[in-house]
Amino acid sequence: MTESKKTKPKVKEESPVKKVTEKNKKEKIAKAINGKTILVAAIVVLLTFITTAGFLIYKNNESGFVKRVAQIIPYPAAIVDLRFASAFSYLDQLDIIKNYYQEFESADFNSDEGKEMLSDARKDVMNRIIEDAIIAKEAKRAKISISKDELEKEFSDLVTSSGGEEDFASTLKKYYGLTLDEFKQKIYKPTFLREKVAEAISGDEKIDAAAKSQADEIYEKATEEKIDFSKLAKEYSQDPGSAALGGDLGYFSKGKMVAEFEEVAFKLKKGEISKPVRTIYGYHIIKVTNIKGNEIQASHILVKVRDFNEWLEEKKTELEGKKYLGFIPALWQIIPTK
C-alpha cells in the first residue's frame, strides 16, 4: 500500500479589504492625534499671547501694538459696578491727550516735567472712563438716550461755531489726531450724554424752585441803580472759578459755553444784565461787560441747583465702599496710573 499524502492545512489569507480598512483606521487615529496636538498647541500659543499682552497692558505698556490687541481682546482697565471700562478706551483716550500735549505744548515725556504731565494724564483719563461708565448706567436707568438726528444737529452746530468743517477738521487732525467722525463718537457723544444726565440730576423740583427764588432775588438787587455787579458776584455767586474775580469769565466766542448760557449772553448789549438763565449748573445772572468782534466779555452770578459733580463724587465714594458677594469690588481700577 502506498502511504497516503498528507495534505497541508490551508492558510487563511486576510481579505485585502480588511487590510485597507485597518490601515484607514490607523491613519484616522494618527490624524486625530495630530489634529488634537495642533489644537492644543494653538490654544497654548493663544493663551500665552493673551497673557503676555495682558501683562504688558497692566505694566503700563502703551505701544500701538498693545492698543491694537486691546481693540480685539476686551481687557478691562477698570470694573465699575459690574461693568467693564475697556483697556482700549483707556489707551485710545490717553493717545488723544498725548497727541495734544506733544503737538500743542511740545511735551517731552522723557523729561521730568513730561513724566509728571503723563502721570496726570493717565489719572485724568482713568477717572474719565470710570465716570463715563457710571453715567452710562444712570442714563440707562433713567432712560436717557441720544438719537442719531439729535447728535448730528448738535455736532453740526458745534462745527459751525468752531469756524466751519474745514478749519475744525484741520484743528482736530493736528492737535488730537482725530477725524471729525472720530471726535464726534469718541469725545462729543459721551460729553453730550454727560450733559443730558447732568441736566436730569439737577432737575429736582424742590431744589430747583429754591434756587430759582434765590436767583430772582439776586437779579432784583443786580438791576438796582448804582449796584456793583462784581461785589454781588463775590458775595452770592457759587461758581468757585469766577466768584473771587467778581464773576468775570473773560472773553469767549460761541461754542465755548453751554448752549442755554450762550443763547442769552450773545443777545445782550454791553452793560445789560439778563434775567436768571437755567443751565445744567443752575441759574445764571449774566452781565456783558464788553464786546470785541465775535467775542464777548461777560460776568455771571451762579446759583447752583443739585450739583452734578457732587453727585458723581458721591456715586464713586459709594462704589468704593461696596463689594459684591463680600469680596468683589464694585469699583476696581486694574490698570495702574502712575
Question: Which tens digits make up the pLDDT trace of 184-217?
Answer: 999 999 999 999 998 888 777 777 888 999 999 9
Question: Which amino acid makes up residue 275?
Answer: K
pTM of the shown model: 0.68
Q: CA-to-CA distance for 30 and 154, rounded, in angstroms?
A: 64
Does residue 12 register a pLDDT over 70?
Answer: no
Cα 306 to Cα 243: distance, rounded to the nearest angstrom: 18
Q: How far apart are CA 80 and CA 271, in angstroms?
A: 48
Kindly indicate the confidence band of residue 34, based on its pLDDT and cuts at 50, 70 and 90: low
Q: What is the pLDDT of residue 235?
A: 95
Q: Are 288 and 246 in contact (CB under 8 A)?
A: no
Sign of the C-alpha dihedral, residues 193, 251, 93, 186? positive
How is 271-307 classified by DSSP, letter by letter? T-BPPPEEETTEEEEEEEEEEETTEEEEEEEEEESS-
Spell out the domains of the chain, with CATH numbers in brackets: 86-201 (1.10.4030), 205-306 (3.10.50.40)
Yes or no: say if 290 and 270 are a contact pair by the CB < 8 Å rule: yes
pLDDT in tens, 234-272: 999 999 899 999 999 999 998 889 889 999 999 999 999
pLDDT band at 318 (very low <50, low <70, confident <90, very high): very high
Name the H helices within the chain: 16-57, 64-72, 87-104, 112-141, 148-161, 165-176, 180-183, 189-201, 205-222, 229-236, 259-265, 308-320
Is residue 70 classed exposed, middle or buried when 0-12, 13-18 and 19+ CB atoms within 10 A define those classes? buried
Out of 45-49, 139-143, 145-149, 269-273, least confident range: 45-49
Q: Residue 177 in contact with residue 188, Cβ under 8 Å?
A: no
C-alpha to C-alpha distance for 197 and 195, rounded to whole angstroms: 5
User: What percent of the chain shows pLDDT beyond 90?
Assistant: 60
Which of 75, 77, 76, 79 is closest to 322 using CA atoms?
79
Phi, psi of 84 (to 5 degrees): -85, 130
